[in-house]
Structure 1
Amino acid sequence: MPSASTRTGNTKKSPARTETLVRKAAAAATGLLDQSERVLVVYDEGGATLYYESDDAEDGIGRRKLPRAS
């Protein structure tokens, strides 16, 4: 069964919110691994974006946005 692992940089600002976002992104990435062999998670100030191979997307790259927990 596919699984995902994550690493983050500086989490000193709000570690609880960051941890929640990382768990949410890891769960979403694991679910996407059923559809695609590779999933990239990019974290930013607003949350995270998952990029994955997709036949449905015009450019072949599917995107899924996860907002940062409040």
Structure 2
Amino acid sequence: MPGASVRTGNTKKRPLRADTLIRKAEAAATGLLGHSERVLVVYDDGGATLYYESDDAEDGIGRRKLPRAS
């Protein structure tokens, strides 16, 4: 079964609530790896967006938005 690994920036400056979002994104990315060989996670102020190869998407790139944990 494929697995995802996470690399983030400076962990000393990262807020604690970001850890929840990172775990959520890692789980979602691992689930998507069954459908796509590559998954990119982009974190922003609102949460994270996962981009992956998808035959169902018009441009071939699927997108899945994860909201920031409160």
Counterpart in the other structure of 1:26: 26
Q: Secondary structure at the match of 1:26?
A: helix
Per-residue deviation, 1:17:
0.8
Instruction: Letter of the 1:5 partner, please give it.
Output: S
Query: Which consecutive unaligned segments of at least 5 residues does structure 1 have?
Result: none
State the identity as a percent.
Answer: 83
In the superposition, the TM-score normalised over structure 2's length comes to 0.92
Q: Which residue of 1 aligns with 2:69?
A: 69
The residue aligned with 2:60 is 60
**Which runs of no fewer than 5 residues in structure 2 stay unpaired?**
none
TM-score (norm 1): 0.92
